[in-house]
Structure 1
Amino acid sequence: MKFAAYAAVGILSFLGPALAEPQGLDLEAVNGAEWTPKSDKGKEINPALIKAQVLLDRARFSPGVIDGHNGENLQNAIKIFEKTNELKPDGALDGEVWRKLAETSAEPVLTEYTITDEDVKGPFVKIPDKLEDQAKLDRLGYSNPEELLAEKFHMDVDLLKALNPDKPFDKAGTAIVVANIDAKADSGKPKEKVAKIEIVKSEKVLRAVAKDGAVMAVYPASIGSEEKPAPSGSHTVRAVAKNPNYTYNPDYAFKGVKAKEKFEIKPGPNNPVGSTWIDLSVESFGIHGTPEPEKVGKAYSQGCVRLTNWDVQELAQMVERGTPVEFIE
């Protein structure tokens, strides 16, 4: 069955720290990185922070985009990891948190990957800024191989480039360094179904909760705005749509959109609702992906719950029709 995603997705710009040229940033430096009291300081990409982000990603305490920076998403992931491990939940990466993270997985956090023909065959698409212009495209595919590869390994494009200086990302057979996210202990196994989803507005996170109340996974999320807040109370999952269309309703009255009639945008990872739509029992609201993963948890959405494409894809495997969804103020 094909679902059109009737989402209200507004994009507000977020300016992160300027990317400084990292020194000694390579596979060995990151895999051998150790925590120091200065690991979360400065604006440069930090090998220890890359390592912490990959380990959190594997343990399903998603830091969002792996970028080597000490941002709010990383701090929120650490805070919930601390609560789960009965540590002081302050969101700070310290020696105790570092030791607990190291216990979750012994596999190297970076690995080499050989670019395949599939990675570079495209077609790649220049995505227009205006929604009306996006509606003219046959598919909202990736813009270039770098974007595809970065999303494939949950990475920021800037980090991918910093780890692979002068490497041609558009050439099959090229060996590059990427985040070793597939080293998860349960990689490839069917995902256990969640008992409940909790969307915590104040913390900008979505929690997948097991029957016994344990947190199975946590994901950074953009959750509504003051102008168009997300719902409150308890709801349920109605359906899951992979590669959804996006239908713009003029009732949304997005700034800059002049259309007076509904129009549809074709599927693809750069679709306004990303690669997956989890429909909720609230008309026009859902949990969905995004074409801008670096803004998740930092920019507001227009009412819906926005995750990275890879996080919502994982969550979609863990829910079913009727799964309870609770919005917590």
Structure 2
Amino acid sequence: MKTVASAALGLLLLSSSVLAASQKLEPDKVNAAEWSAGSGKGKELDPVLVKAQVLLDRARFSPGVIDGHNGENLQNAIKAFEKARGVKVDGALDQEVWSKLKETSAEPVLTEYTITEEDVKGPFAEIPDKLEDQAKLDRLAYSGPEELLAEKFHMDVDLLKALNPGKPLDKAGTAITVANVAASAEARKDRGKAAKIEVVKSEHVLRALGKDGTIIAVYPASIGSEEKPAPSGSHTVRAVARNPNYTYNPDYAFKGVRAKEKFEIKPGPNNPVGSTWIDLSVESFGIHGTPEPEKVGKAYSQGCVRLTNWDVAELAGMVEKGTPVEFLD
């Protein structure tokens, strides 16, 4: 039995090593990546998909978490981009879409970043699963530098590690490769305020529209839940709160929460509503961030409209009190 167990452990370690090796990406190859008919077909990290996700992110057609994989959020982002560019809408990354994506920005999609003292100093926190236990913490901080850096550059932690094999992500002064999501920041600011917000339930997206009705941003969204379904019809933005507290109401009766009285959870990026809350004219309903960006756009939500922390922070800068918000089926 001991020999069998040792052999099994050896195979497991070997498999892990092979997986780790296959998950490395060379930054130069990502920056120079070009679409081909086989792009996005495999299960491993794909340089073309990383490049497409960064370009979409910079053009405000958010793919959610940049992870190098071909998921539903990427396909929805491509659909929105296709519609805006007047090409066939099918969510597929083809040569025409690729060419139009490349036209949006000529800057490299990956860049070098030096980890700062601010990135690693904390305080960090171990976040418990239960909301009642989270209420005992002084702040719902990042779990560590890895999570902070990944969110700072809109990335999946696994992708961050694959681009930086063997590099300490918790040491100030370390030069690492990250998604170049800050490129063309001034051009993004020029798009101004949103005249209207549309929350499209069937497509799991939120759209920001300009005064002329054109789409100026699209974000993947988790919309409502069984316990707290999304409303219908037209509403408005009442206020924007950055770094908000979260108040649990027992009337929600969320699964796994036994509390019979209201309780409050302190602010932080791992707060249940993330780093930003956009309050709507629907009682106790809003647009907010999340501590689990990889689940955005999926059938997972504790109600309201959930975006990644970085997407809702950007959206918050585009809305003001009175901005119309329409929920579409």
Scaled by the length of structure 1, what TM-score is found?
0.92
Return closer, same or farther for 1:172/1:25 CA change in 2, 3 Å cut-off: same
Q: Is the 8 A contact 1:59 1:184 kept in 2?
A: no
User: What is aligned with 2:296?
Assistant: 296
292-301 or 239-248, larger mean C-alpha shift: 292-301
Distance 1:283 1:23 in 2: 45
Q: What letter matches 1:28 in structure 2?
A: D
Structure number having the greater helix percentage? 2
Q: Is the 8 A contact 1:244 1:277 kept in 2?
A: yes
Q: What letter matches 1:221 in structure 2?
A: A
- Number of aligned residue pairs: give it: 311
Q: CA deviation at 1:258?
A: 1.1
Distance 1:21 1:202 in 2: 39
- Matched residues, percent identical? 82
SS in structure 2 of the partner of residue 161 of structure 1: helix
SS in structure 2 of the partner of residue 239 of structure 1: strand
| Structure 2 unmatched runs, 5+ | 1-18
Instruction: Spell out, residue by residue over 1:221-254, the C-alpha distance to the aligned partner (whole angstroms, 9 max, x if none).
Output: 0011355420000000000000000001111111
User: What is aligned with 1:232?
Assistant: 232
SS in structure 2 of the partner of residue 181 of structure 1: coil
User: What is aligned with 1:6?
Assistant: none
Matches within 5 A, 1:205-220: 205-220=205-220
Flag the structure with more relative contact order, 1 or 2, with Cα contacts below 8 A and sequence separation at least 6.
Answer: 1
Return closer, same or farther for 1:185/1:142 CA change in 2, 3 Å cut-off: closer
Q: CA deviation at 1:24?
A: 6.0
Q: CA deviation at 1:265?
A: 0.2
Q: Is the 8 A contact 2:228 2:252 kept in 1?
A: no
Q: Is the 8 A contact 1:231 1:303 kept in 2?
A: no
Return closer, same or farther for 1:179/1:225 CA change in 2, 3 Å cut-off: same
Q: CA deviation at 1:38?
A: 1.2
User: What is aligned with 1:267?
Assistant: 267
Instruction: Spell out, residue by residue over 1:3-35, the C-alpha distance to the aligned partner (whole angstroms, 9 max, x if none).
Output: xxxxxxxxxxxxxxxx77536611101001110
Q: CA deviation at 1:308?
A: 0.1
What is the root-mean-square deviation in Å for CA atoms of aligned residues? 1.4
User: What is aligned with 2:81?
Assistant: 81
Distance 1:93 1:310 in 2: 24
Matched, 1:48 2:52: no
Return closer, same or farther for 1:115/1:103 CA change in 2, 3 Å cut-off: same
Return closer, same or farther for 1:188/1:123 CA change in 2, 3 Å cut-off: farther
Matched, 1:102 2:102: yes
Q: Is the 8 A contact 2:24 2:162 kept in 1?
A: no
Q: Is the 8 A contact 1:197 1:326 kept in 2?
A: yes
SS in structure 2 of the partner of residue 297 of structure 1: coil
Q: What letter matches 2:171 in structure 1?
A: K
User: What is aligned with 1:9?
Assistant: none
Q: CA deviation at 1:51?
A: 0.1
User: What is aligned with 1:72?
Assistant: 72
Q: CA deviation at 1:302?
A: 3.2
User: What is aligned with 1:162?
Assistant: 162
